Structure 1
């Protein structure tokens, strides 16, 4: 784990101990999306701009795959994150 720091506009900056486990950069919006594993067994999902300003963050307790999918849905960027985390989201049809 390492100390992670984000600037926050108009509020206190944020720091926490964590390990980066998934990351994707959206070149269209210039926003990075990342998932950090925390020492307490949670995930910390972040969206930040190119100056490391935190735009959005969510704690996902107990590394809940279901909660992460509920938040990120099934966008192309979300699927990159799922792949990096080893989360299978393909719907298998039994036909």
Structure 2
């Protein structure tokens, strides 16, 4: 794997070092901090009511997305039928 060298001032280095967990490389720390959070890192942030509301919103979004996908597939099929491409 290729590597890059970066420079950090002392304050930035100490802050990064403070986030370093046992067994982690500095690359691991940067990827963890700069990347998406895992569920274990965000567990407990929402109240049960907030979590339920969020879950409902996600379900509704998935349902709308599924309906939109089905509609577009139907429109594509209809267009293909009209063009004789099927």
TM-score using structure 2 length = 0.22
**Rg (Cα) greater in structure:** 2
The structure with higher relative contact order (CA 8 Å, sep 6+) is 1
Of Structure 1 and Structure 2, the greater strand share is in 1
TM-score using structure 1 length = 0.21
Of Structure 1 and Structure 2, the greater helix share is in 2
